[in-house]
C-alpha cells in the first residue's frame, strides 16, 4: 500500500496538503496525483519492454477521466475500450483510432458499426459477433478473445477467464473461429485473453501465457501467423497495510520467457487499468457526524456508496486515515459510513482511528480504479468534483454535477404538469 508524508500533522498528496484541497474544492472530492499516474504507467511499460516489444493498452474502464486519459496519451499509451462511449471519450482525450482495441461483450450491431466506422480494431468475443461483424466491416484486422480456462481476481465478480465464463470463445472452439474468419475475408492478426482483475500472484498469468502459446502454435500449423499476443490486464495492487506488491520484474520475466521460448510472436500487449490509476487517487470526504450506537461506533461522512461503491459491491478493503490529524494515535474502532439510506452504505468497517470529530477530513486510499467511474446518482445525489494535483499545485478537472443536471434528460408529460 502506498505511504504518504505529512506536514504539521496534515497528510500530503501530490505535494499538496489534503486540507487545502478540501477547502478549495469542497467534499466529496476525488484527487488524482498526476506524477504517480505517470510513474505507474512507466513502471509496467519498462518492466516488460526490456524483455520483448510491448504495447500498453490502458484498460480505461478503470477510470475514464479526461485528464487521466490525456496524461496517459502523452505517455504513449494505447487503449483497451469496452464500449463506444469509452472509444469516443478516448478520442476526445487525444487518442487515435489506431491506438485502441475494442473488446466488448454481447455487442449490438449498432455498436459494432459505430466502432468500426471510427477505424478501431475489434477483439471478437463470440462466433455470433464474428458473423454479424462480417456483414458490417471486414476491412479492419481483428483478433479473438479466447476463454483460457484460467481465472484470477480479488472477487468472483471480477474473475473472467475460467471455463464457463461469459467472456470469450471457448478454448476448444478457437481454431474454428480463426478458420471461419479467414473464410469471411478477415485478417486475424492476434489473440487475446483476460483472466480477471486484481490478481496478486504471477502463476495464473504464467498459466494464461502457456495456454495462449499453445493456441498460437496450433494456429501456425493451420497457416495463421499472428502479430501479437494480448495477455489482458488484471495486475493487482496492495490495498492493505503491509500487503505485498506484485513483483513486476519477476512477472515480466516469467511471462515473456514463456512467450519468447515457445512462440515466434514478437509483440506483447498488456491491458493494465487498476495498476496504473488505483493508488494515484484518493477520495476526500468530510466527517459530518460521530455516533455511538452502543454496539458500534460510527464516523458519518459526506461520501457514500454513490461515490465509491467498491466496499458495498465487492466487500473491498480501502485504507482510511484522518488527513488533518495524520499519524495520530488511534483510540477506538469505527465504521465509516455515508449518507445513503441503506445499511450497506459503508466505506470501511472496524477501523482504528484517532478520536474522530465533526469536521475532520477522512481520506480513502486507492480510489483511482473503479471509483468515480462506478459512481452514481443514487438517492438523487449529484456526482462530485475531481481535481488533479501535480507537485503541490491542484487544478479542477471535473466540475461537480448540479441537481438540475440530474433532470436534464427527463420529461414530465403535459397531463401531469402542475
Q: Give the integer Cα–Cα distance in Å for 81 and 9.
A: 41
Q: Give the integer Cα–Cα distance in Å for 180 and 172.
A: 14
Q: Is the dihedral of CA 108, 110, 114, 120 positive or negative?
A: positive
DSSP code at position 97: G
Q: What are phi and psi of 385, to 5 degrees?
A: -80, 165
Q: Give the integer Cα–Cα distance in Å for 48 and 248.
A: 8
Place of cell 472477487: 155
Structural contact between residues 34 and 248, judged by C-beta atoms closer than 8 angstroms: no
DSSP secondary structure string for all residues of 178-192: HHHHHHHT--EEEEE
Residue 384 is among the residues annotated as catalytic for this protein: no
* 185 Rama class: left (phi>0) / alpha (psi -120 to 50) / beta: left
109-117 and 84-93 helices, crossing angle to 10°: 20
| Kind plus residue range of the DSSP H or E element containing 398 | strand 393-398
The residues with which 270 forms a beta bridge, in sequence order, are 56
Quickly list H helices, 243-383. 248-262, 274-277, 310-314
Q: Environment class of residue 290 by beta-carbon count within 10 Å: exposed (0-12), middle (13-18) or buried (19+)?
A: middle
Cell of 30: 476525488
Structural contact between residues 161 and 150, judged by C-beta atoms closer than 8 angstroms: yes
Which entry of 287, 330, 341, 384 is annotated as an active-site residue? 341
Q: Which residues are catalytic?
A: 341
Amino acid at each position: 500500500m502506498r505511504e504518504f508524508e505529512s506536514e504539521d500533522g496534515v497528510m500530503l498528496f501530490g505535494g499538496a496538503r489534503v486540507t487545502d484541497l478540501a477547502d478549495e474544492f469542497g467534499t466529496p472530492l476525488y484527487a488524482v496525483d498526476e506524477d504517480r499516474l505517470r510513474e505507474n504507467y512507466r513502471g509496467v511499460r519498462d518492466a516488460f519492454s526490456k524483455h520483448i516489444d510491448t504495447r500498453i493498452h490502458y484498460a480505461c474502464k478503470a477510470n475514464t477521466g479526461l485528464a487521466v486519459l490525456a496524461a496517459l496519451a502523452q505517455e504513449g499509451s494505447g487503449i483497451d475500450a469496452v464500449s463506444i462511449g469509452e472509444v469516443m471519450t478516448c478520442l476526445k482525450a487525444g487518442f487515435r483510432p489506431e491506438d485502441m482495441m475494442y473488446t466488448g461483450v454481447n455487442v449490438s450491431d449498432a455498436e459494432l458499426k459505430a466502432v468500426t466506422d471510427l477505424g478501431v480494431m475489434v477483439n471478437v468475443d463470440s462466433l455470433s459477433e464474428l458473423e454479424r461483424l462480417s456483414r458490417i466491416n471486414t476491412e479492419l484486422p481483428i483478433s479473438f478473445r479466447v476463454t483460457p480456462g484460467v481465472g484470477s481476481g480479488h472477487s468472483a465478480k471480477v474473475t473472467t477467464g475460467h471455463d464457463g465464463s461469459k467472456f470469450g470463445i471457448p478454448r476448444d472452439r478457437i481454431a474454428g473461429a480463426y478458420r471461419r474468419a479467414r473464410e469471411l475475408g478477415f485478417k486475424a492478426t492476434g489473440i487475446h485473453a483476460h483472466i480477471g482483475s486484481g490478481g496478486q500472484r504471477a502463476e495464473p498469468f504464467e498459466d494464461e501465457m502457456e495456454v495462449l502459446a499453445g493456441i498460437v502454435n496450433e494456429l501456425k500449423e493451420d497457416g495463421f501467423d499472428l502479430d501479437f499476443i494480448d495477455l489482458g490486464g488484471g495486475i493487482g495492487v496492495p490495498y492493505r497495510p503491509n500487503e505485498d506488491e506484485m513483483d513486476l520484474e519477476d512477472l515480466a520475466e516469467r511471462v515473456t520467457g514463456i512467450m519468447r521460448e515457445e512462440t515466434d510472436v514478437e509483440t506483447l500487449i498488456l491491458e493494465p487499468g487498476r495498476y496504473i490509476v488505483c493508488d494515484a487517487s484518493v477520495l476526500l470526504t468530510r466527517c459530518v457526524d460521530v455516533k455511538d450506537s452502543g454496539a458500534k461506533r460510527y464516523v458519518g461522512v459526506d461520501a457514500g456508496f454513490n461515490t465509491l461503491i467498491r466496499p458495498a459491491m465487492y466487500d473491498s478493503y480501502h485504507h482510511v486515515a484522518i488527513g488533518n490529524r495524520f499519524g495520530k494515535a488511534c483510540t477506538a474502532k469505527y465504521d465509516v459510513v455515508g449518507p445513503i439510506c441503506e445499511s450497506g452504505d459503508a466505506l470501511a468497517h472496524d477501523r482504528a482511528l484517532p478520536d474522530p470529530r465533526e469536521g475532520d477530513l477522512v481520506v480513502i486510499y486507492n480510489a483511482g480504479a473503479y471509483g468515480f467511474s462506478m459512481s452514481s446518482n443514487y438517492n438523487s445525489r449529484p456526482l462530485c468534483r475531481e481535481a488533479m494535483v501535480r507537485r503541490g499545485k491542484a487544478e479542477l478537472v471535473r466540475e461537480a454535477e448540479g441537481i438540475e443536471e440530474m433532470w436534464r434528460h427527463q420529461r414530465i408529460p403535459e397531463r401531469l404538469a402542475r
